[in-house]
Amino acid sequence: MLGALCVTVIFTGTACSKSTQTSGSSASPTASASASATASPTLQLSTAPTATVVSGDTVTIALDVSGIKIVAPDGDTSGKTGHFHVFIDKDPVPAGTLIPHAPGIVHTEENPIYLTGLTDGDHKLVIVLGDGVHRRIGDSQVTKSIKITGPTVQLTAPATAVAGQTLTVTATVEGVKLVTAAADMSHKDGSTGHLHIFVNKDPVTPGGAPIPSGDPAIIHTAATTTAIPATLLKTGNNTIWVELGYADHTPFNPEIVDKVVVAVTPAPAAVTTTATP
Q: Is the pLDDT of residue 50 over 90?
A: no
pLDDT at res. 51:
64
pLDDT at res. 270:
75
pLDDT at res. 275:
64
Q: Is the pLDDT of residue 157 over 90?
A: yes
Q: Is the pLDDT of residue 262 over 60?
A: yes
More reliable by pLDDT, 61 or 217:
217
pLDDT at res. 122:
97
Q: Is the pLDDT of residue 49 over 90?
A: no
**pLDDT averaged over every residue in the chain:** 86
**pLDDT band for position 5 (cuts 50, 70, 90):** very low
Q: Is the pLDDT of residue 197 over 90?
A: yes
Q: What is the mean pLDDT of the segment spanning 132-148? A: 95
Q: Is the pLDDT of residue 11 over 60?
A: no
Q: Which residues of 2-31 are buried (b: 16+ CB within 10 A; e: fewer)?
A: beebbbebbbeeebebeeeeeeeeeeeeee
pLDDT in tens, 61-116: 889 899 999 999 999 999 999 999 999 999 999 999 999 999 999 999 999 899 99
What residue ranges define each of the domains in the chain, with the CATH number in brackets?
8-148 (no CATH), 153-265 (2.60.40.10)
Q: Is the pLDDT of residue 251 over 70?
A: yes
Q: What is the mean pLDDT of the segment spanning 208-233? A: 97
pLDDT at res. 52:
82
Q: What is the mean pLDDT of the segment spanning 2-28? A: 35
Work out the percent of the chain whose per-residue pLDDT is above 90. 75
**pLDDT band for position 43 (cuts 50, 70, 90):** confident
CA distances from 193 to 47, 54, 203 (A): 38, 20, 16
Q: What is the mean pLDDT of the segment spanning 164-191? A: 97
* Integer Cα distance of 216 and 146 in angstroms: 37
**pLDDT band for position 37 (cuts 50, 70, 90):** very low
Work out the percent of the chain whose per-residue pLDDT is above 70. 81
